[in-house]
C-alpha cells in the first residue's frame, strides 16, 4: 500500500512516524514549506514535493494533515487519482471531499501532538469514517496496526468529540499556563504544581470529574474567591476565574438537586 | 509528641492517615459532625470529641483542617493550651491565630484530597510557616517524615500558590467535567479522553505549558471556534469557551511579540 502524507505539521509528523515504525510504505510528503517537508521526509526516509501539481496520483491512501481551511484549497489544485482520500481533522465533516474524489473518509487520532515529543500510538483512539463501506476494511487495517482503540464514528459525533477535546486538552493546558504565570510573578518554579496536577488526573481515572471537584468554588467560599480575584492583575484572568467558579457552583447545585 | 486533629474532612482524613502511617501519636480528633469524627477516629485508632470544650489542652501540636471560615470560630470557643497551633489552609494568613495563642503557624500540603482516595504524601509539597523561629524545627520534623518536599513560605506567597492551584487543579478538573458533559450527551463514555488528558500532562513535564498549547484557539481558527460555540447549549459554557480562547490567543500574541 502506497501512502502519501499531505502536510508536515504536528499531526503529520507524529502520524508519519507511527506509520513508518509499523513499516508502512510512505511514498511521498507534500508540504508547501520546504524546510519542514524535507525535515519530515528525512525522518521518514522518503521523498517530498512542495509543488502541489507534483503530488502523485499513484497512491492507495492519501492522508491530509493540514489546517482545516487548507484541505479544500489543496483538493482544488492537486491532481486527483483513484486512491482513498482521508483527513485527520476533528471538526471537518467527511463530505468536504464530495465532488472531488469518489473514495474518501476520515482518520482522526484523538490526541495532542507536538513535532518533537515522541509518543506511542497504541492507546490513542483512532476515529474512522468512510464514505464507501468497501473502504472501511482498508482504513481499519491501517488504524489497527497503530492503535488498540479504533472506532467508526460519524462526522457529527466526531465534531462533539473534538469540542470535548478542546476543553479536556487545550483549555486544561491553558489553566496550567495561567497557574504558571501566577507562580512566575512570585519567582516560584511552576513544577511545584506537578504533584497536584498529576493527582487531579489520577482522581478522574476512578471518580467522574464532577464528583472529584474540590476547592473554594464548589464550597462557594466567597471570601476566598474575593481574595483570589484581588490577586489577579488582568481583567481576562478575573473573568475566567469568575465564569469557571460560577459554572462549578452551578454543577454542584444541580448535582445535589438530583441526589 | 501528642497531636490533635481538628476537622474530619478530606484534608484532615488524608493528613491523619499519613501521620498515622508514620507512627505519629494522634491523641484526639475533634469534629462537630459525629459520623465523620467517629469514622476518622476509627481509621486512626484514636478517640474523638464533638464537644468543642473537650478539646484537650495537653497537646504538643494542634492541626486545624476545617473550612477557612471555621478556624477562628473554633479558636474562640475551644480551651487553649501551650501547644503549637497550625492550620492547613492555602489562603488563610498565619496571623489568624494572633491574640488567641502564643505559638502558631501553618502546615499546608499542596494537594487535592478526597476522603476515600488514598495517596502517598512523599511527593506532596508541604509549605510551612511559623510565627516563632523556635517552632520551625518542630514543624519541619513532622513535615519531613511525610514528604521529601518541605519548604518555609510566607502567608503572601502561600496565597498566590493557592490561587495557582485553583487554576491548575480545581479549574482543570472542571474542564474535564465540561468535556465529560459534552460526551455524555452524545452517549459516549468520557474515558475516551483519558489518553488525551494524560498526554496533555506529560507534555508540560518537559515543555512549559504556554509552549505546549495546541488547538483552534492558538491558531485563532474562527471557523472552528464558531462551529464549536454552536454546539454548546448553555450560555455559561459559551462564555467560558470564548474567554479561554481569547486568553490563549492573547498569550500566543504576546509570546510571538517577544520572539
Put simply, the answer to whether B178 touches A167 (Cβ < 8 Å) is: yes
Backbone angles phi, psi at A101, to 5 degrees: -135, 165
Q: Counting every residue, how long is chain A?
A: 259
Question: Which of B116, B152, B170 is the best mutation test for A, with the most CBs of A within 10 A?
Answer: B170
Measured between CA atoms, how close is A213 to chain B, in angstroms?
6
Put simply, the answer to whether B203 touches A67 (Cβ < 8 Å) is: no
Mean pLDDT in order along chain B per 10 residues (259 residues): 97 97 98 96 98 98 95 98 97 97 98 87 97 97 98 96 98 98 96 97 95 92 94 97 97 64
Contacts (Cβ under 8 Å, ≥6 apart) of B75? B85, B96, B97, B100, B101
Q: Is B99 on the interface with A (CB under 8 A)?
A: no
Measured between CA atoms, how close is A77 to chain B, in angstroms?
22
pLDDT for residue B160: 97
User: How confident is the model over A72-76, as a mean pLDDT?
Assistant: 98
Question: Which of B92, B147, B176, B201 is the best mutation test for A, with the most CBs of A within 10 A?
Answer: B176
pLDDT for residue A161: 98
Structure confidence by residue, pLDDT tens digits, A184-196: 999 999 999 999 9
Strand-strand pairing, B25-30 and B48-49: parallel
Between chain A and chain B, the number of residue pairs with CB atoms below 8 A apart is 307
From B111, B194, B240, residue closest to A195, measured CB to CB: B111
Q: How confident is the model at residue A259 (pLDDT cuts 50, 70, 90)?
A: very low
Q: DSSP string of chain B?
A: -EEEEE--SHHHHHHHHHHHHTT-EEEEEE-S-HHHHHHHHHHTT--EE--GGGS-S--SEEEE-S-HHHHHHHHHHS---SSEEEE--SSS-GGGGTTT-SSEEEEEE-S---TT----STTS-EEEEESSGGGHHHHHHHHHHH-S-EEE--HHHHHHHHHHHIIIIIIHHHHHHHHHHHHHHTT--GGGGHHHHHHHHHHHHHS-HHHH--SHHHHT-HHHHHHHHHH--SHHHHHHHHHHHHHHHHHHHHHHHH-
Q: Is B164 on the interface with A (CB under 8 A)?
A: yes
Structure confidence by residue, pLDDT tens digits, A136-194: 999 999 999 999 999 999 999 999 999 999 999 999 999 999 999 999 999 999 999 99
Distance CA A85, CA A68 (A): 15
Measured between CA atoms, how close is A14 to chain B, in angstroms?
13
Q: How confident is the model at residue A257 (pLDDT cuts 50, 70, 90)?
A: very low
From A183, A195, A204, residue closest to B173, measured CB to CB: A204
Distance CA B223, CA B245 (A): 13
pLDDT for residue B206: 94
Nearest CA in chain B to A225: B163
Nearest CA in chain A to B109: A196
Q: Is A118 on the interface with B (CB under 8 A)?
A: no
Distance CA B23, CA A101 (A): 71
Q: DSSP string of B35-63?
A: HHHHHHHHHTT--EE--GGGS-S--SEEE
Chain A residues whose CB is inside 8 A of the B183 CB are 160-161, 164
Q: Is B11 on the interface with A (CB under 8 A)?
A: no
From B117, B224, B247, residue closest to A68, measured CB to CB: B224
Distance CA A168, CA A162 (A): 10
27-56 of A, contacting B, C-beta below 8 A: none
Measured between CA atoms, how close is A46 to chain B, in angstroms?
27
Question: Which of A124, A244, A253, A258 is the best mutation test for B, with the most CBs of B within 10 A?
Answer: A244
The whole-angstrom distance between residue B28's C-alpha and the CA centroid of its chain comes to 23
pLDDT for residue B255: 60
Q: What is the DSSP letter of A117?
A: -
Closest by CA to B197, choosing from A146, A249, A200, A12, is A200
Put simply, the answer to whether A236 touches B246 (Cβ < 8 Å) is: yes
Which single residue is written with the C-alpha cell 524546510?
Answer: A35
pLDDT for residue A117: 84
Put simply, the answer to whether B179 touches A168 (Cβ < 8 Å) is: yes
Q: Is A232 on the interface with B (CB under 8 A)?
A: yes
Nearest CA in chain B to A194: B205
Query: What is the predicted ipTM?
Result: 0.93
Amino acid at each position: 500500500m502506497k501512502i502519501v502524507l499531505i502536510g508536515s505539521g504536528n499531526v503529520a509528523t507524529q502520524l508519519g512516524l507511527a506509520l513508518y515504525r509499523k513499516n508502512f510504505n510512505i511514498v511521498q510528503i507534500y508540504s508547501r514549506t520546504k524546510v519542514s517537508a524535507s525535515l519530515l521526509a528525512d525522518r521518514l526516509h522518503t521523498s517530498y514535493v512542495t509543488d502541489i501539481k507534483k503530488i502523485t496520483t499513484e497512491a492507495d491512501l492519501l492522508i491530509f494533515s493540514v489546517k482545516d481551511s487548507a484541505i479544500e484549497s489543496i483538493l482544488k489544485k492537486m491532481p486527483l487519482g483513484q486512491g482513498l482520500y482521508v483527513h485527520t481533522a476533528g471538526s471537518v465533516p467527511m463530505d468536504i471531499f464530495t465532488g472531488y474524489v469518489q473514495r474518501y473518509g476520515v482518520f482522526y487520532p484523538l490526541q495532542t501532538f507536538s513535532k518533537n515529543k515522541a509518543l506511542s500510538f497504541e492507546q490513542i483512539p483512532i476515529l474512522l469514517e468512510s464514505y464507501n463501506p468497501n473502504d472501511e476494511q482498508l482504513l481499519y487495517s491501517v488504524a489497527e496496526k497503530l492503535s488498540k482503540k479504533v472506532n467508526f464514528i460519524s462526522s457529527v459525533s466526531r465534531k462533539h468529540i473534538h469540542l470535548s477535546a478542546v476543553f479536556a486538552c487545550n483549555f486544561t493546558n491553558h489553566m496550567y499556563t495561567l497557574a504558571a504565570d501566577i507562580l512566575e510573578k512570585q519567582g516560584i518554579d511552576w513544577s511545584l504544581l506537578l504533584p497536584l496536577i498529576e493527582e487531579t488526573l489520577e482522581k478522574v481515572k476512578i471518580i467522574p470529574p464532577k464528583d472529584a471537584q474540590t476547592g473554594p468554588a464548589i464550597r462557594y467560599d466567597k471570601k476566598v474567591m474575593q481574595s483570589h480575584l484581588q490577586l489577579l492583575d488582568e481583567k481576562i484572568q478575573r473573568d475566567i476565574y469568575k465564569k469557571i467558579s460560577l459554572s462549578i457552583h452551578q454543577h454542584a447545585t444541580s448535582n445535589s438537586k438530583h441526589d
